Amino acid sequence: MDSILKNINDPGLHALVGCITMNMGKEKIAERFKEIQSQYPQYDKTFLWLLAYSQEHSPDTQRYIEANYKKFHQCLDSGFPKKLSAINRFESHMWEMILCDTLSASGKLIPKSAAGADLILETPKGQLIQIEAIAPDEAEDEGLRAERPDYSKGNMFSSGGNIEDMENPILLRCTHAFDQKANKAYKKDQPFIIAINTSKVVGIVSLDDFIIRRVLLGLGCVTITRKPDGSHQTGLQQKNDLKKPNGGIFPVARFRDPNYKHVSGVIYTSQSSIGLIPGGWGWSNSGIFYVPNPMATHKVDVDFNFFKTIICDEVAYREIPAKRDFVTSF
């Protein structure tokens, strides 16, 4: 990552590259990385690990970040390398890099200006789409966090309860992230997409289609209704409000609310951005979804062929597979 490190301009980081190897043993690796974190507290721990660990996927990830930055640096924020490496900011900025790569297959990315959306995509038909990216952190209040497996116990999934209640902390953070970007300044006469990565807030359960259905459409678990003739009909539960983990309720179903018709759609994933690098595990799990807003003032006229698509209107709810596997643009 020569260009990234050069722009960060911290000579000490160069010495960290590849300094941890698998043959050091678990205890020595943990001790050495703790020393590194103590020595460089201003940097994100994922970024430091990526530099220091020389095996598994680290070299490929480093090469990907370098190539991505060289190709898309004009579309990213000024001083992007320092922002990418800053404490607790690696995931959100890595998400922007992944978006640049995936979206470039659907049009042309416009060089970044000082003001405006995070990314601007020009479609083959000349439509300009504003894209705001966000990767929300966990809530500061531990009572509002999603439950996570305890790997120190024999049964990591010891927590009981309704699956919906276990998902609600994720849904709350996702809804908050959506609102945070939906209320940001943008050009009123252009399509506007919010790109959300919730990989930092997922807990025991991470069902992307369920999260999307709840937050955007007010739809949840599958329902089965028995008809008078004895046959059965399946559908989706409808609910516009959900319970907060510490009491109270919060509204969902953003794409059924006319106050959000300025949002053309949402790009969503709960997969770590590093896992979405070609060959990573993220695409083999849920990958990335695109959900157009059926009430949108400005419809998006573009084919996101790497993304799964969820279409929901008055006629039907449909999940459409991605047209092709993700292939990087460089």
pLDDT in tens, 178-211: 999 998 878 889 999 999 999 999 876 678 998 9
Q: Tell me the three-class secondary structure of 149-176, residue by residue.
A: CCCCCCCCCCCCCCHHHHHHHHHHHHHH
122: pLDDT strictly greater than 80: yes
Mean pLDDT of the chain: 90
pLDDT at residue 27 tops 60: yes
Domain boundary among 87, 115, 138: 87
8 Å CB contact between 287 and 308: yes
pLDDT at 328: 95
Same domain for 36 and 122, yes or no, is no
Question: Which residue segment(s) compose the domain that 238 sits in?
Answer: 90-320
Please tell me whether residues 78 and 114 are part of one structural domain. Answer: no
pLDDT above 60 for 155: no
203 and 271 housed in the same domain = yes
Q: What are the backbone dihedrals phi and psi of residue 84, each rounded to the nearest 5 degrees, phi first?
A: -60, -40
Domain count, the chain: 2
**Burial class (CB within 10 angstroms; exposed 0-12, middle 13-18, buried 19+) of 37:** middle
Shared-domain flag, residues 62 and 106? no
Rounded average pLDDT over 102-112: 94
Last residue of a domain, one of 55, 87, 119: 87
Cα–Cα dist 55/46, whole Å: 15
Residue 165 has pLDDT above 70, yes or no: no
Binning pLDDT at 50, 70 and 90, where does residue 156 land?
A: very low
Span 255-263, average pLDDT:
96
Whether 177 contacts 198, CB under 8 Å: yes
Q: pLDDT value at position 205?
A: 65
The stretch 126-153 carries a mean pLDDT of 81
The pLDDT of residue 56 is: 77
Poorest-pLDDT segment among 39-53, 218-232, 291-305: 218-232
CB of 155 within 8 A of CB of 204?
Answer: no
